[in-house]
Amino acid sequence: MWTARGPFRRDRWSSEDEEAAGPSQALSPLLSDTRKIVSEGELDQLAQIRPLIFNFHEQTAIKDCLKILEEKTAAYDIMQEFMALELKNLPGEFNSGNQPSNREKNRYRDILPFQHHGYSGPNERT
C-alpha cells in the first residue's frame, strides 16, 4: 500500500504483514548506543574550509613535481634510490640510538637517528 506521510508528503510503501527484508532493516544493538563523533561547532568549522587557490607558477611547480614522481615511479627509480641507501658509506658514527637513554625509544634498529652535525644538505654547512 502506498501512503503519503509526514510534512513532505513523500510516497512510501507500507505493509503491516511483511517482515523486514534482512539485517539492513533491523536495528543493530551496536548502533543503538551511538555517540557524536564531531560536534556541531566542529561541523561548522569544517564547513568553512575552502580549497587552496594556487597561482599559475605554483600550479606549474606542483605539476612538474608530480610528473617527475610519476616518471621515477614508473621506472622504479625511487625503489633503486632507496635500495642504494644501504650501500652508501656513512659520513660518521650514528650511535645515539644505542645509548641507554634512547634505547627504549628506538623501535627500529636499522634506521639511523638524525644528527645535525653529521648531515649537510646541498645548501647547508656543517
At residue 113, the pLDDT reads: 60
Q: How many CA atoms lie within 13 A of 60 on its CB side?
A: 3
Q: Is the pLDDT of residue 20 over 70?
A: no
Give the pLDDT band of residue 124 (cuts 50, 70, 90): low
Each residue of 63-93: pLDDT tens digit? Answer: 999 999 888 888 787 788 888 888 888 777 7
Ranking 8-12, 76-80, 116-120 by mean pLDDT, the lowest is: 8-12
Average pLDDT (57-67) is 92
pLDDT, position 11: 46
Of the chain, the percentage scoring pLDDT greater than 90 comes to 9
**DSSP code of residue 59:** H
Amino acid identity, position 105: K
Q: Which residues are CB-contacts of 126 (< 8 A; sequence separation ≥ 6)?
A: 117, 118, 119, 120
